[in-house]
Structure 1
Amino acid sequence: MHVVLVLDHAHINGGQAKVALDSAVGLRQRGHRVTVFAAVGPIDPRLAACGARVICLGQDDIASTTNKLAFAAQAIWNARAAARLEAELTLCDPRDTLVHVHAFAKALSPSIGPAIRRSGLPCLYTMHEFFLVCPNGGFYEYPADRICHRTPMSAACLTTNCDARSYPRKLLRVVRHLGLEHVAGLPGLFRHVVTISALQERVIAPLLPPRTVFHRIDNPISVERQPPERDGGGDFLFVGRISTEKGAPIFAEAARRAGIRPVFVGDGPSAAELKARYPEAVMLGWKTGPEVQALMRRARALIFPSIWYEGQPLTVYEALACGCPVIVSDACAGREAVEDGENGFWFRSGDAGALAAHLTRLSDDGLAARMAERAYERYWSAPLSVDVHLDRLEQVYGLVMREARPVPHPTERPGLRGAAPAGP
């Protein structure tokens, strides 16, 4: 089949792009034709190496733009992306082409919707975050540091400043969401929606049309199978963006109460303040993937205290694959990977005292060793490998294609078969 993958970035700049681009390479290796349509470069060199077709518009995102006003217009409605995508999809054979949208909110904008609709091609959307239903994409009030339970685009939503930067930026996102709903019609366009956690589906299902079909496809985890290396001892480890919504301050406070040394891998807006307030904290900065996994194999536990929903936090699964127990907030999707009391613990979200109690419990070497063994064995009994991810993708793609009504190719005359396919 021919898969058109639509996303903001043509290179890996986070988990969302990594999943999309890894799948592009994997699908090519399985013999499918792949087109990657993206707004922002540079282009991942693996795409050319595997023979994928790439259309990259060379546009900016919010981090790279030098003209905030021009980017605001692009973020609301990217006319160039719409025209280029429509031209590309016109060339595709509807008998074997499927459009899979991974991301639009950072550069492409909702303008991709009419282009996909007019093409008539079967399509689906992966819900890496919540931009399809929530203006700020996270159901999170940044100024108040709490999950938002308001109905998106309701009066209560519109009058609440939930943006991480400012209320005018929230209003910009509201304008974009109006276009998403009433001009692009994205919620109705994507009958098939891929989710990456059960929590995510529970949150979004009431906000999408009743005809929506949900498909669970776990993100792949890239971890080499090696047993844990810890022989007694081991650090309590935090890995990721050091920020309030990720719960970093909660871990630092809980560690102090439990009398243990917190170790942070990563960086973020809360790092300097935490180091000043908790001088006992060890700040290692960002590390490479293999370095992080080596730290996890020697750690006593990973602490994942996020106070917002998350999607499918890959760090949690990566830790379990390394034989590292996980202590996780009960408000986030990471709890789905942890069986409380078996391969880690849940704790009440935002409660430093509850987290401190589990840190104290897991200071017991025997318990830590048993949990490490269970974490390792449970993960590797059903690993989230790239092949498992691709198998599930192909299964869902096949279902979506079979549901779509066959449409004759526009260049095919009656009685003529075998029109040349588009793309490499």
Structure 2
Amino acid sequence: MRCVIVSDFGSVNGGAAKVAIESARGLAEAGVEVVFACAIGQVSDRLSHPNIAVEAFGGEEVWRVEGKLAAARQGIWNAKAHAFLAMLFGRQPRGTVIHLHQWTKAFSPAAIAAAGESGLPVAITLHDYFSFCPTGGYFDFQANAPCRLEPMSAGCVVRNCDRASYVHKLVRVARQWRSNKALHALKAPLFIHVSDFARRFAEPFLPIAGRHVVVENMMEAPRREPARVADNRHALFLGRFTQEKAGDLLAEAARRAEMPVRFVGEGPLQARIAAINPQAQIRGWVPAEHVFDEIAQARCLVLPSLWFEPGPLVVAEARSLGVPVVLARTTGPASWVFDGDDGLLVDGGDVDGLATALSRLKDDALASTMGAAAYRRYWADPLTTSRHVERTLAAYSRLAVA
């Protein structure tokens, strides 16, 4: 089997790039011939393997292009990227799978169009919602709430929902128009979702000709003894301090519940979090090799996201350590949680419900019981790379019979 993986980045700078790179490595180790097409930055050492050929476009991140008009033009349609990918895809033997992971930062919708023009089977992993939403998050940053509009409808186009500005939104609308045109030209594409929730949410917005499958992202966790959560006191938020991730709501809920809380990360809401809850511990990012140690010190991990987050792996990291989670029920990992048994689900934006959940977890026995259940369920089916590769290959086989 042979595949071409398309990722804007050739090294890890976020979740999508990490999954693309680790998936390529896992597939190569399983005997698949992999071509890894990237555009930005250095190439990860993880792509050094006899079964991986790296094809670097040598582009740059769209908003680092000199001149706003040039950046906008490249974001909407990168003609050079189209030529590069069309030539690359054209060299591939029949039956090669083209697997798109990320294209919005450099390749542009030209990547989708080139894939469709090749006549080869196409798979697309939805790490976000850029396949149908201009801003990629289906979130109204001006209203600080999930979007309720039909993507690319008249109401969507005129709505100023972008984090930056309405002009920025209009550029994204133009890019989405090109994306939609390319997506609808694909013959029976396979959309790969990273959680059951993300599939149920996204499927109605995607081309009717598409097929759908869930392949969770990998998360290689060392199997350790479960954390002694009854000995821990603080709730933990681990991530960017941005409005859609709602760290400020956790700060308020923890204050009401009189539960210590620790925020690990960075972002524009840091000052607001500190003002709401002066007792909160706020720390910068911890090195990747210390993330599990950080989580193991927590009473619970909290993910209060307001947006419909597809599949953040920090929840799996906590469950692998036996740390119970409190998270919004409109997030991907909510489908892993048995509410009240191995974690607690709350409505996004419900500060009272979040405070109540934190108060419940102040009970040592309950926290310990939930943590033990989370640990047991995670290790019954861990998110290993081999699991991810097996399910990815099964997804590719569906394309082969299209």
Instruction: State TM-score, norm by structure 2.
Output: 0.96
Q: Partner of 2:244: helix, strand, or coil?
A: coil
- Aligned twin of 2:216: 218
Q: Deviations over 1:85-132 (max 9, x none)?
A: 11111111114x111111111211111233222221111111111111
- Aligned twin of 2:206: 208
The 5-angstrom pairing of residues 64-83 of structure 1 reads 64-83=64-83
TM-fit CA distance, 1:185 = 3.9
- Aligned twin of 1:61: 61
- Find out whether 1:278 has 2:281 as its counterpart: no
Instruction: Check conservation: 1:227, 1:297, Cα contact below 8 A.
Output: no
Instruction: Check conservation: 1:227, 1:376, Cα contact below 8 A.
Output: no
Q: Partner of 1:209: helix, strand, or coil?
A: coil
Matching residue's letter, 1:13: N
Instruction: Check conservation: 2:233, 2:260, Cα contact below 8 A.
Output: no
CA distance in 2, matches of 1:372, 1:125: 35
CA pair 225-36 structure 1, distance change in 2 beyond 3 A = same
The 5-angstrom pairing of residues 15-414 of structure 1 reads 15-62=15-62, 64-95=64-95, 97-182=96-181, 184-186=182-184, 188-189=186-187, 191-230=189-228, 232-403=231-402
TM-fit CA distance, 1:402 = 2.9
TM-fit CA distance, 1:203 = 2.2
Q: Partner of 1:9: helix, strand, or coil?
A: coil
CA distance in 1, matches of 2:21, 2:269: 30
CA distance in 1, matches of 2:252, 2:20: 37
CA pair 189-269 structure 1, distance change in 2 beyond 3 A = farther
CA distance in 2, matches of 1:30, 1:398: 15
CA distance in 2, matches of 1:187, 1:207: 15
Q: Deviations over 1:188-229 (max 9, x none)?
A: 455211111222222222222333210111111121110223
CA distance in 1, matches of 2:249, 2:333: 16
Instruction: Check conservation: 2:227, 2:321, Cα contact below 8 A.
Output: no
Instruction: Check conservation: 2:129, 2:138, Cα contact below 8 A.
Output: yes
Q: Deviations over 1:336-355 (max 9, x none)?
A: 12111111101122111111
TM-fit CA distance, 1:366 = 1.0
Runs of 5+ unmatched residues, structure 1 = 404-424
CA distance in 1, matches of 2:309, 2:232: 30
Instruction: Check conservation: 1:8, 1:104, Cα contact below 8 A.
Output: yes
Instruction: Check conservation: 1:125, 1:194, Cα contact below 8 A.
Output: yes
Q: Deviations over 1:248-296 (max 9, x none)?
A: 0110000110112210111111012222332211012101233121122
Matching residue's letter, 2:200: R
CA distance in 2, matches of 1:277, 1:62: 36
Q: Deviations over 1:169-189 (max 9, x none)?
A: 00001111112223x345745
**What is the count of residue pairs matched by the alignment?**
401
**More displaced 10-residue stretch of structure 1: 102-111 or 61-70:** 61-70
CA distance in 2, matches of 1:299, 1:185: 43
Instruction: Check conservation: 1:306, 1:332, Cα contact below 8 A.
Output: yes
CA distance in 1, matches of 2:262, 2:124: 37
CA distance in 2, matches of 1:209, 1:67: 34
Matching residue's letter, 2:203: A
CA distance in 1, matches of 2:367, 2:62: 43
TM-fit CA distance, 1:377 = 0.5
CA distance in 1, matches of 2:84, 2:308: 34
Instruction: State TM-score, norm by structure 1.
Output: 0.91
TM-fit CA distance, 1:62 = 4.1
Runs of 5+ unmatched residues, structure 2 = none
**More displaced 10-residue stretch of structure 1: 197-206 or 212-221:** 197-206
**More displaced 10-residue stretch of structure 1: 5-14 or 195-204:** 195-204
TM-fit CA distance, 1:143 = 1.2
CA distance in 1, matches of 2:63, 2:298: 34
Q: Deviations over 1:231-257 (max 9, x none)?
A: 523321011011111010110000110
CA distance in 1, matches of 2:67, 2:55: 23
Instruction: Check conservation: 1:228, 1:298, Cα contact below 8 A.
Output: no
CA pair 89-233 structure 1, distance change in 2 beyond 3 A = closer
**More displaced 10-residue stretch of structure 1: 39-48 or 56-65:** 56-65
- Aligned twin of 1:422: none
CA distance in 1, matches of 2:113, 2:295: 45
